[in-house]
Structure 1
């Protein structure tokens, strides 16, 4: 059996695809998995690192408005569809599973041309253009959000890495804090902006750092690989640890009592799966899906939601610091976040894929 996975560009598209690939291999060790991507996405690093074959197709961004660039789309899209179809032929693909992103559009159309079953997974409440197209080509549509706007989607959750879903934060807390050079006896704030970081979060957290430390709170701050630090936090205790990137996010979650972060679908799914409460700062642009991702968590008591324009050092001091200094409130919010999480979506989706191939529908 051969499965082709299409999801590229950001970690939010790639990580669920790789989690599904891992689950498929656990269920069917001899299964063949090929990932489609483009040369501009994170998949060029993430997919080979996880041991999967990566095949590249040309990226075809779809303009959101009537511009001269729109005239070039049909020709470039045809080339990408042909490239994807050729990969499906060479791999003798039995099914395509798409997760969105630039690579998904030509992949869906190529699979339709080849008569392959198509599975669409949409992580967000509001689907992107590629998955809206894909959903028109199949009855096998799954979502990770309980308030999805896709009419025929089945709620299944977002496939997550095993090191996340198997994490026991409480038992790993002391080891994780020691890993990052943090004390084991102090409340810890984790700050991160996703795979690329977030400047507004970085600036607000760094400015609030001195007050947090004077209040006895230590900080683990992941800047993002493309973000420079103008001035290092001064040495001292409690620690303010700054890192450009963290490969072991499971340990970062285990080290933390509370997080300050964006609210991409993957971030929300991972934090609820491990029961880590957070102050979510939705991206200020896009179609508003990040606010939709975080709102149900906040409504259940598992976090806070703050607009990017309202985030400031004072807001962190007035809203996040009191939570970190109240262990009972942290525990209550952790339980509420965990109640929203799902840890079995990878296996559930893998079983669906195997069933669909078995029925060839």
Structure 2
């Protein structure tokens, strides 16, 4: 691009999403990517005071603009009667944020609004439509939610994480970009970081290690089953060698205290960690839900997984995990089957190769070599390409990687 054709000012972007790390992490990964391309890019994140974004966004070095939380009632109720007034208030707050995002780089408004779904996205989509600002919608899960189905009707710029997701923009447009993930995860070499990671969590350097996580909110079913089965799970191995150990991320406010553990057993409990990259590097196997972020991250780093889909909602978690299961790097277990007896038996057998089947070794090999779309490590770059195109900023030749669907 010649100096004469260069844009007169940096790009201004409003990113909308919040509540859980599943919404916040992709937005921050995209923000980081846009800033790597041009450090002067104006980035403002729209969120609430109640969600994790209130802590994670400022901690990452970005400004947060607050919008009132407006849940969309799924059934007739008194909340439905209050919805129009509350939504209008949220849309006006989003309009102010669009203006603020532009002012940061000397523009009257943001060049583009990017939403990832959830409560915050709806007022952002509507505000952008009212102000004539281009919208980019990114759907993390296999099955899109209400907010993104609405957003997709307002734009031709729609991106998805999983092949086959039924979400298209105006004119049937859409791109398979994968999920934007933090570079700490996408550049992680688990083998090279293993010793550092285990030392960071005070784990035995050589013991078979199970990571348990239900995401930022935790998963009570997983927490209860693992705690109740921990004594047998961590028992000494018949052939000697280090006994299994657990790194348990319980979720905020859900700390647990296992009892009756064998002498010397290693069971580390944290409610939350900002260093999931090190948690992945420390583990040989992860027991987790199948949210999009978890599936994409564990697949990207090549960590074998036992996915336990959330048994409520629209069933998207089972679909999220399907590619990794088909590739042989993961197992799918129904929520109702995750009990203390399952932890003492099948889970321990998998972690320790008690039956001599070497299933974990096979899963590890599959995880290291599979090319599941969910594990694509360049989702941030692909989505950034789409954002720049939506804003009317041409992507330099050779950098575009979005794949039309």
Query: Smaller-chain TM-score range?
Result: over 0.9
Pairing 1:32-43 to 2, within 5 Å after superposition: 32-43=42-53
What's the offset of the Cα at 1:38? 1.3
| TM, length-normalised to structure 2 | 0.85
1:17 aligns with 2:51: no
Q: Contact 2:230 / 2:258 at 8 angstroms: preserved in 1?
A: no
What's the offset of the Cα at 1:248? 0.9
For residue 329 of structure 1, the aligned residue among 359, 363, 377 is: 359
For residue 144 of structure 1, the aligned residue among 156, 161, 164 is: 161
Q: Distance in 2 between the 1:262 and 1:33 partners?
A: 31
**Structure having the higher Rg:** 2
Q: Distance in 2 between the 1:226 and 1:25 partners?
A: 34
Cα separation, partners in 2 of 1:335 and 1:121, compared to 1, 3 Å: farther
Q: Distance in 1 between the 2:384 and 2:152 partners?
A: 18
Q: Which consecutive unaligned segments of at least 5 residues does structure 2 have?
A: 1-10, 103-109, 238-242, 395-405
Q: Contact 1:60 / 1:80 at 8 angstroms: preserved in 2?
A: yes
1:274 aligns with 2:301: yes
| TM, length-normalised to structure 1 | 0.95
What's the offset of the Cα at 1:357? 1.5
Aligned length: 360
What's the offset of the Cα at 1:230? 4.9
1:264 aligns with 2:291: yes
Name the structure 1 match of 2:145.
128
What's the offset of the Cα at 1:347? 1.3
Name the structure 2 match of 1:117.
134
Q: Determine helix, strand or coil for the equivalent of 1:100.
A: coil
**1:81-136 Cα deviation digits (max 9, x unpaired):** 11111221232211000001101000001001111111000000111111000000
Higher helix share: 1
Cα separation, partners in 2 of 1:335 and 1:344, compared to 1, 3 Å: farther
For residue 31 of structure 1, the aligned residue among 22, 41, 52 is: 41
Name the structure 1 match of 2:401.
none
Q: Determine helix, strand or coil for the equivalent of 2:210.
A: strand
Q: Determine helix, strand or coil for the equivalent of 1:197.
A: coil
Q: Contact 1:233 / 1:240 at 8 angstroms: preserved in 2?
A: no
Name the structure 2 match of 1:165.
186
**1:9-53 Cα deviation digits (max 9, x unpaired):** 111111100000000000111100000011221110110010001
For residue 350 of structure 1, the aligned residue among 360, 363, 384 is: 384
Q: Distance in 1 between the 2:30 and 2:365 partners?
A: 27
Q: Distance in 1 between the 2:270 and 2:303 partners?
A: 20
What's the offset of the Cα at 1:235? 6.7
What's the offset of the Cα at 1:313? 1.8
Q: Distance in 2 between the 1:118 and 1:225 partners?
A: 33
Name the structure 1 match of 2:199.
178
Range moving further from structure 2, 305-314 or 326-335: 326-335
1:196 aligns with 2:217: yes
Q: Determine helix, strand or coil for the equivalent of 1:358.
A: coil
Q: Which consecutive unaligned segments of at least 5 residues does structure 1 have?
A: none
